[in-house]
Amino acid sequence: MRVVLGPMEGVLDHLMRQILTEINDYDLCVTEFVRVVDQLLPDHVFHRLCPELLQGSQTVPGVPVHVQLLGQDPNWMAENAIKAAELGARGVDLNFGCPARLVNKSKGGAALLQHPALIHNIVKACRDAVPSNIPVTAKIRLGWENPDDCFEIVDAIQSAGANELTVHARTKQGGYKASEIKWEYITQIRERFSIPLIANGEIWSYKDGQRCIETTGVDSLMVCRGAFNIPNLGNIVKYNHQPMPWSEVVDLLIYYSQFEMKGDKGLYYPNRVKQWFSYLRQAYPEANELFREIRIFNNAAPIVEHIQHYRDRLHSSVNCTA
């Protein structure tokens, strides 16, 4: 089984990729998107979103990282795919699933699901442009509104020569509603097409992963939001590990504070750690108490201090009961 740590714009940056690949056996990561409009982007844009390019396009623990491109112009997408490859990307992933209104208004992301011929042209332009040893992959939702549109979309992508396809089994209109997940469409896609697939959407546990594999017949899974709710979700899904205990999550929050962002104005850690709490609170009720303590602070030092005190209290209460 393969488990992929999927792309999450504004959430899953290189530091989180490093932390999550240190504690999980992920097979692949995908960057946040490089937004392509009507120009060849300079190197620093790629390096900012994917600093791993400077270390062989892999995280510090050695997990390959693919560069994600989002755009609607086949020629500019191809030019930037070439650039990603020249900078050392181990793969180029094309985003046809982003539901953000601004992106969709300019016909990018999920809006393209309404235009399979254009999707075909983008994938083909990129596949033709990038050396054949570098995979060009795509990620889609089932359609804009109607999940039955997925077959035409997959046909467009397969016939353009993409190497692999991730299917987030909801339409754009389905948003992120759990009730809108339709893994059975992935089953049908697998039966009708030969392109290798990665199944994505609503995998929060080992059981979910097993159910997804049984339903779809696809044994490559992608996890996204759940990977933030439970930091060792990759190993839970792959090896049936127990969820990481809360005390270890607290240690991880402190570990995270030791990373420094280049050019950071001191806001990176406070903002990101609060964002992480919004995920952790879904899985760890204990996170609420700690979040209440730290949410008023806008710089790293008092947040880390509070978390350290909290950890000391936690460890001493664990020792007392032991």
Ligand X SMILES: Cc1cc2nc3c(=O)[nH]c(=O)nc-3n(C[C@H](O)[C@H](O)[C@H](O)COP(=O)(O)O)c2cc1C
| 69 within 8 A of 127, measured Cβ to Cβ | no
Q: Which is nearer to ligand X, 24 or 250 (CB)?
A: 24
> Taking CB under 6 A as the rule, does residue 6 contact ligand X?
yes
Show contacts with ligand X in window 122-151 (CB under 6 A).
139
CB of 10 to ligand X, least distance (A): 6
d(CA 205, CA 163): 28
CB of 98 to ligand X, least distance (A): 5
Catalytic residue among 98, 126, 150, 224: 98
Using the contact rule CB under 6 A, the part of the chain among 94-102, 120-128, 234-242, 245-253 near ligand X is: 94-102
Q: Which is nearer to ligand X, 223 or 250 (CB)?
A: 223
The only residue of 165, 223, 230, 280 in contact with ligand X, by rule CB under 6 A: 223
| 203 within 8 A of 216, measured Cβ to Cβ | no
Buried residues in 227-266 as b, exposed as e (16+ CB within 10 A):
bbbbbbbbbbbbeebebbeeeebbebbeebbeeeeeeeee
> Taking CB under 6 A as the rule, does residue 7 contact ligand X?
yes
> Taking CB under 6 A as the rule, does residue 202 contact ligand X?
yes
Tokens 């996890």, located at residue: 223
Tell me phi and psi for residue 165, to 5 degrees: -135, 125
Q: Whose CA is closest to 92, among 148, 14, 36?
A: 36
Tell me phi and psi for residue 47, to 5 degrees: -70, -30
> Taking CB under 6 A as the rule, does residue 225 contact ligand X?
yes
98 is catalytic: yes
What lies within 8 Å, CB to CB, of 152 at 6+ separation is 116
The only residue of 2, 8, 23, 173 in contact with ligand X, by rule CB under 6 A: 8
> Taking CB under 6 A as the rule, does residue 201 contact ligand X?
yes
CB of 314 to ligand X, least distance (A): 29
- H or E element in which residue 136 lies: strand 136-141
> Taking CB under 6 A as the rule, does residue 220 contact ligand X?
no
Residues assigned a catalytic role: 98
Task: Summarize as ranges the residues that interact with ligand X (CB under 6 A).
Answer: 6-11, 32-33, 68, 95, 97-98, 139, 168, 200-203, 223-226
